[in-house]
A and B are shown apart, each in its own frame.
Chain A
Amino acid sequence: MTHSYLPEPNPDAKLPSPEGRFGEFGGRYVPETLIAALDQLNDAYSKACSDPAFQQELDHLLHNFVGRPSPLYYARRLTEHCGGAQIWLKREDLNHTGAHKINNTLGQALLTRRMGKTRVIAETGAGQHGVATATACAHFGIPCVVYMGEEDVRRQAPNVRAMRFMGAEICPVTSGSRTLRDAVNQAMRDWMSTVDDTHYILGSVVGPHPFPLIVRDFQAVIGRETIAQSETAIGRLPDTVVACVGGGSNAAGMFYPFVATTDVELIGIEAGGRNEQPGNHAASLSHGEPGVLHGSFSYVLQDIDGQTEDVHSASAGLDYPGVGPEHSHWKAAGRVSYDSVTDHEALAAFDVMCKTEGILPALETSHAIAATMKLAAQRNPEDVIVICLSGRGDKDAAEIQRLIDSK
């Protein structure tokens, strides 16, 4: 299977440091109560990494349950539409549950079992990570509680139903802004009281060490497959790889295996929302500053007192005021360039992708598509751009219709 293909030795392979630092970013800024659970998780993960049986079981699940490897697909009509570089799509939307999130939740569910824990909690915004967690827990028969902002429970009804069908309990969060950020807070609070028997399956490359490391590693199958598939399909690596960044898990998984190959250009696209004013976007790397949120030191959208700012994106999955610490490191090191795309541009790209390719992408992914379309038009036909098509857009259909109607 292609996903066991390993990239060239990576200069960043030693990151994070044992303390969980990617350069100056990362760390563990959490209450003392959680330290024991983080140490336990780190230990269980290290042991799992050197256990061939763990890798084998995960590979088997990824192949037979998720349907990996996901195809690398040449988007011919989209390429013609843009009139420049070739656009290829890494089809994470074709995974079971319709997004990349399942790569991580299966890995962490296996770790839950290894640690002998009997209950799982998770946070979710748009519901994709919640569905992927509920799915992994149903597969292993582990009870699962998903924290979800009250606002998001209302907006993402189809995913709430799917989670309940799979036996998960949904806890609407009514504190603060009632969205993803508060769902993370509430999941952490639950974990404070239940660390003995509960594992928290965090859904992105954010939070305290070792979560950014573990989630990146479980998602790195995306980049490893892309490298192998590029060699086969075009006989070389792509020139440019583009992915959307909220917390940044699909982008981290796609970029990480490419980081050492410096002639591959890596571009992360954040949610530019309505405009660049505070409260109107969710572009932490583009407009934020280094600070502490949810257990890690990274770029964050805060006011001058360190209070987390409200954020906005048409895409619920990117609607988050922080970003993974490794992305902050890649930005500081100049290895990955980050830019943002507005709600309006993402919606336009969604429309083009649907009509030229017959693929209905997630609104999150549509941000990466919009940036790629602009870029491809300026490049030569020999150039190859790969988009991480992180998820399908069925969940967004009602919201997109509402946005079109309200224009």
Chain B
Amino acid sequence: MSAIDELFRKLNKEQRVAFMPFVTAGDPNLEFTADLLTALDSAGCHLVELGFPYSDPIADGPVIQESYTRALKNHVRVHEILEMVQRVSPSLSLPLVAMVSYAIIFRHGIESFLDQSKASGISGLIVPDLPSDESEVLRDLCDQRDLSLVPLITPTTAPDRVAHILETARGFIYYVSIAGITGERSELPAELADNLRELRRQTETPICVGFGISHPKQAAMLTEVADGVIVGSAIVRRIGELALSHRDSAIQSVVDFSKEMLSGLKKPEA
């Protein structure tokens, strides 16, 4: 059982919904990311999705794209990210989930990337450009190392695919709220709650919702139908260019926002 499974078991008992901020590794540099991870852990976040900067992120909107560009402009390297994680992870109580393009994993050598990720303290992987039909090999190799390969399901995923994805899901399901790219949205789709209820009917695996969520009210509305809420652009935007000139206030701003999100995330009384 991976650290992610244990976490959701515990949260389920406590009737709590996980809050999972997304952070771009190396934006603007890895020292900042390490401090931010520590601050998010202290603030009570349940998991962190750690984005590995990639030159061609197709699923990402402008805010996360620009954070990747900033990190890559500073020449952040994959081995440096893993070294940073290895330094900071022993003091963190939250599990880390790596969000990483298959282009990066393949180029590094799949097994060597997984071994190094495991050794650094990463608990699971989200590979946004590896749909379930292509992921069998990677999933087997992740299983051998007790790393959770988290699959994505979207509103466009056909029912027979959903069934297959649920069978092979590890850790949690990343449910993408909308057909589109990452980024804050003022309105979530009206059918989102129904989609999540339908998915819940089919699986015991925890379901976390991401894409478009930026406001505590949106998160609170999801507590009835989801086990976790993932927020990316609303976090990354608060770091942005500020992080270099006003480092402490950038971290404080993310911590304040996370606490606000966390306060609304409790399962409604049954």
Q: Which residues of A contact B (CB under 8 A)?
A: 19, 27-37, 39, 175-176, 181, 185, 188-189, 192-193, 195-196, 291-295, 297, 302, 304-308
Contacts and interface: CB of A to CB of B under 8 A. Distances in A.
B152 A19 contact: no
B86 interface: no
Given A196-B179, A305-B77, A31 B55 contact: no
Contacts of A36: 156-158
A306 B104 contact: yes
Interface in B84-116: 101-108
A176 B55 contact: yes
B41 to A, nearest CB: 27
B104 A305 contact: yes
Sorted nearest first, the 4 A-B pairs with minimum C-beta distance are: A306-B107, A193-B180, A306-B104, A36-B156
Contacts of B178: 193
5 contacts: A32-B132, A33-B59, A35-B156, A192-B58, A305-B108
Contact of B55 (A27, A29, A189, A307): A307
Contacts of B78: 305-306
Interface in B45-60: 54-60
B56 A192 contact: no
Given A188-B58, A195-B156, A291-B107, 18 more contacts: A27-B134, A28-B133, A29-B102, A31-B58, A32-B152, A32-B157, A35-B156, A36-B157, A176-B65, A181-B56, A185-B56, A189-B59, A192-B58, A292-B103, A293-B56, A297-B106, A304-B107, A305-B78
B205 interface: no
B108 A185 contact: no
Given A29-B102, A36-B156, A291-B106, A19 B133 contact: yes
Given A33-B59, A293-B103, A307 B69 contact: no
A196 B59 CA distance: 17
B106 A35 contact: no
B154 A33 contact: yes
A192 B177 CA distance: 13
B128 A31 contact: yes
B158 A28 contact: no
Nearest to A182: B56
B267 to A, nearest CB: 27
B128 A305 contact: no
B179 A192 contact: yes
B176 interface: yes
A304 B156 CA distance: 34
A295 B151 CA distance: 17
A304 B104 CA distance: 9
Contacts of B151: 32
B156 A29 contact: no
A35 B165 CA distance: 13
Contacts of B134: 27-29
B153 interface: yes
A371 B102 CA distance: 36
Given A28-B134, A305-B107, A193 B181 contact: yes
A292 to B, nearest CB: 4
Contacts of A35: 131, 133, 156-157, 161
Contacts of B61: 189
Given A193-B179, A196-B179, A305-B78, A37 B103 contact: no
A29 B157 contact: no
B102 A192 contact: no
Contact of B59 (A31, A181, A304, A307): A31
Interface in B145-199: 151-154, 156-158, 161, 176, 178-181
A291 B131 CA distance: 16
B268 interface: no
Given A176-B69, A291-B103, A33 B179 contact: yes
B83 interface: no
A230 B134 CA distance: 42
A33 B103 CA distance: 18
B241 interface: no
Contacts of A33: 59, 154, 156, 176, 179-180
Given A35-B156, A192-B58, A292 B102 contact: yes
A223 B181 CA distance: 39
Nearest to B54: A307
A176 B108 CA distance: 23
A279 to B, nearest CB: 13
B58 A185 contact: yes
A247 to B, nearest CB: 15
A198 to B, nearest CB: 11
Interface string B134-152: 1000000000000000011
Contacts of A302: 103, 107
A30 B128 CA distance: 7
A195 B179 contact: yes
A306 B58 contact: no
Given A192-B59, A291-B107, A293-B56, A32 B131 contact: yes
B114 to A, nearest CB: 15
Contact of A39 (B55, B153, B158): B158
B220 interface: no
Contacts of A29: 102-103, 129-131, 134
Among A181, A195, A305, find the residue whose CB has the most chain B CB atoms closer than 10 A: A305
Nearest to A177: B55
A192 B181 contact: yes
B72 interface: yes
B203 to A, nearest CB: 16
B180 A295 contact: no
Nearest to A302: B107
Contacts of B65: 175-176
Contacts of A188: 58
Nearest to B157: A32
Contact of B154 (A32, A185, A293): A32
Nearest to A322: B56
A390 B152 CA distance: 41
Contacts of A304: 107
B156 A28 contact: no
